Chain A
Amino acid sequence: MTGVGTSAARGPADGAARRRAARAAFAGFVRKEAYHLLRDRQTLGILLLMPLVQVLLFGFAIRTEVRGIRVAIVDPTPGPATRRLRDRFAASPQYRLVATWPTADALPAAFDAGTVRQAIVLPPDADRRLAGRAPVPVQVVTDGSDPNTGTIMESDALAIVRRWWGDLAPAAPGAGLALSVRLRYNPTLASVHLFVPGLIALVLTVVSAMMTAITIVREKETGTMELLLVSPLRPAQVVLGKVLPYVGLGMVNVGLLLLAARLVFGVPVRGSLALLLAVCLLYTVTALALGIVISTRAPTQRTAMLAALAGLLMPTMLLSGFIFPVASLPAPLRLVTNIVPARWFLVLVRGIMVSGAGLAELWRPLAVLAGLTAALLAAGIRRLPVRLD
């Protein structure tokens, strides 16, 4: 304290020297934090490798498309027409035709056991009926216990049945309304283009927040916080000094994850790479600031961990649009997602990478994300413990 006091007493002439000293103190603090980070090889290895391994692992493992549906066909009287329906299901990559039964007796047991998730029940004499006039009843039975995939399964099976029926009828030559469809940005409707950026957002959020959540609490728990508090560094500098080395680490992670997305999963980067990197840099700061906010409020490392991991994991997964589209959520929850930073990051990353959008289209989500980041940083600095109890 005496050192600071005497230098202040010397008057404004030494202002420049004092600023230089303050800068040197800050640089020293950042260096110290960086050493902490680099010295612990085991933790550093975890921090660099784990996000990459997770993105690779889950990028390959998870598909949100409904595929491999186990379907059974109940066909009391097989004929040429019904055989064609069977062929259609057998040929569809979405379906696995597991059985063709003459009666529906086995269905309940098969559904209960989960060996069949969908069944197409044809009426007796389907072929003969198709040549008649009365409507031909075809039942599409779907295991609705998961309503999300159930809806998709049902609409897919109905589409196959309708196409089968449509192709049986001799079309009038040339007449009718045609529809030419262009599926923009993702013609194969692959979910991987949507999923991998989401995975990056999730992993980046939780890992970054966890990295900083621990830092200040650990200083409090081990008693080294007192040393920081009596140093000439201002609270804002303490926060900044703790965040900076992790920003570097976070950007290394971003680079690795983007390379994996591009090279391994073939996610395109249609927009500007510079904008993408800038957004990732901003978001890394956001997530780190989230960790700082947690760590200034948590009394122990355990509390900080519970808040960072248990508090962030599921909300980031479910309220960001990672798996479930934000547009699908009920209105009150859609409002809540506005304060979930990962939601805006996802809009930006998917927009830049998949749709090739630029600043003209994305300035709004970018501004929101920047605002959230500023708010989090301010909250972290304001709540920094300037004295010990």
Chain B
Amino acid sequence: MRAVFLLVRKEFLQVLRDRTTIAQVFLIPVIQLLVLSNAATFDVPRARLAVADADGSPLAASLVERLEGGGRFRVVRAQPTPGGFEAALRGRAVSGVLHVPAGFARSMGRERRDTLQLELDAQDGATAGILLAAAQGILADWGREALPGGAPAPGARLAPLDARPRGWYNPSRDYRHYMVPGILVSLVSIIGLLLTAQNIAREKELGTLEQLNVTPLTKGQFIAGKLIPYWLLALATFCLGLAVGRLAFGIPMRGSVPLVIACAMVYLVGALGVGLWLSTFAETQQQAMFLSFFVLLLYLLLSGIFTPVDAMPPWARALAQLNPVKHFVVIMRTVLVRGGGPAAIWREVATLAVFGAGMLALAVAQHRKRTG
């Protein structure tokens, strides 16, 4: 026990002496949390829509007005030269072009029908989908009213539809309440994993690992001594980030905060244990860094923080189930946003505990006291 304590103290002194690293460990997560939490949104802003009006009638003008008033589009009136629209669309100067054919007003009046053509830049499929739905809705409403003689048959024999959307759990739709826990966990994991992965590789590079290897420290004691200081640092960063999230973004804290911190203690053992395990493979700090990058991308992209897990193919969904980040983010959201207690999260906590124990066992088993 005393041996572990001495190693922990040595590690602590080494880290605390390195002021630059300490500043990085606390400042990088806090600054990025403050900045990036605002960035994780799919909000579709008003899109620039060019209208190629070959008709020029008051009817076409009323259509443009309606599109403008819908809130989704900002109409750009432009010269109807096909090459110009093509270039504007390709150069992303506009998101779409609406073509109003010549004689539009006349054919709407006489034949009660006509066709408009809408071109949308679909490079970003999600945005295009939302713009398309908005355009269809606006044009359908306008078309019903604009037709002389009022609406056509629909509604005559069918009761009107009163479709009411209702959001549960986050009625304010503040994406930051959802994102802050995810981004905080990502940042703390990046820092913690890097610090532990780099540490043993550095001792290898400098040759000081051999000095540690000839001491009577057991493998378990060695791994514990390497884990505890960084575990404490990561935990401190996590608590700091939690406070920042509360003060700067007002993330809700409906459940118990001590419960979240207790879960963080369990989570960080596994998250940092991965770093220790990696560092037993890496010969140099550079290798440790590349291995960490690989694991970190797995952590972040298969966590469901930024992209939905439901959309992944089955094998990726299975891989996501092994991702501790995913489980810890679920815990944080359940406790903080929904106010859940221990009963709601015991399964995730158990998974994290098993993961942590497994990673430490791997790291101890993989660590070699002999070199060469």
User: Which A residues are within 8 Å of any B CB, using their own CB?
Assistant: 40, 42-43, 46-47, 50, 53-54, 58, 60-70, 111-112, 117, 129-152, 154-155, 158-159, 161-162, 165-166, 168-172, 174-191, 193-194, 203, 206-207, 210, 214, 218, 298-303, 305-311, 313-315, 317-319, 323-325, 327-330, 333, 336, 347, 350-351, 354-357, 360-362
Contact = CB atoms under 8 A, between A and B. Distances in A.
A147 B174 contact: yes
Given A144-B168, A305-B194, A63 B162 contact: no
Contacts of B108: 177
Given A177-B142, A189-B125, A210-B286, 10 more contacts: A67-B310, A69-B310, A152-B42, A180-B115, A190-B125, A303-B24, A313-B190, A314-B183, A317-B306, A328-B41
Interface string B16-36: 001011001100100010011
A301 B92 CA distance: 42
Contacts of B18: 300, 302-303
Contact of A65 (B126, B294, B296, B301): B126
Contacts of B284: 40, 43
Contact of A140 (B43, B163, B202): B163
A250 B41 CA distance: 32
B216 interface: no
B41 A324 contact: yes
A290 B294 CA distance: 20
A311 B153 CA distance: 61
Contact of A112 (B153, B156, B174, B338): B338
Contacts, number: 373
20 contacts: A112-B338, A130-B158, A133-B159, A136-B160, A136-B162, A142-B168, A147-B173, A151-B130, A162-B161, A175-B147, A177-B108, A177-B146, A179-B115, A179-B135, A189-B128, A306-B25, A310-B190, A313-B296, A319-B36, A333-B39
Contacts of B297: 54, 58, 203
A-B pairs with lowest CB-CB distance, top 8: A177-B143, A144-B167, A189-B125, A361-B91, A61-B316, A172-B152, A172-B153, A135-B162
Most buried by A among B154, B171, B307: B307
Given A67-B310, A182-B120, A175 B168 contact: no
A356 B121 CA distance: 12
B122 to A, nearest CB: 4
Contacts of A330: 38
A165 B169 contact: no
B41 A148 contact: yes
| Residue of B90, B117, B160, B319 with most partner-chain A CB within 10 A | B90
Given A142-B165, A166-B154, A176 B113 contact: yes
Contacts of A182: 117-120
Given A42-B283, A177-B147, A309 B126 contact: no
Nearest to A135: B162
Nearest to A271: B90
B173 A180 contact: no
Given A112-B338, A355-B123, A178 B157 contact: no
B157 A307 contact: no
A210 B311 contact: no
A357 B198 CA distance: 43
B90 A355 contact: yes
Contact of B163 (A138, A144, A170, A329): A138
A354 B121 CA distance: 10
Contacts of A303: 18, 20-21, 24
B187 interface: yes
A323 B118 CA distance: 26
Contacts of A144: 167-171, 173
B28 A310 contact: yes
Given A42-B283, A314-B186, A140 B122 contact: no
A325 B42 contact: yes
Contacts of A61: 301-302, 312-313, 315-316, 319
Contacts of B187: 310, 314
A85 to B, nearest CB: 11
A146 B147 contact: no
Contacts of A162: 161, 163
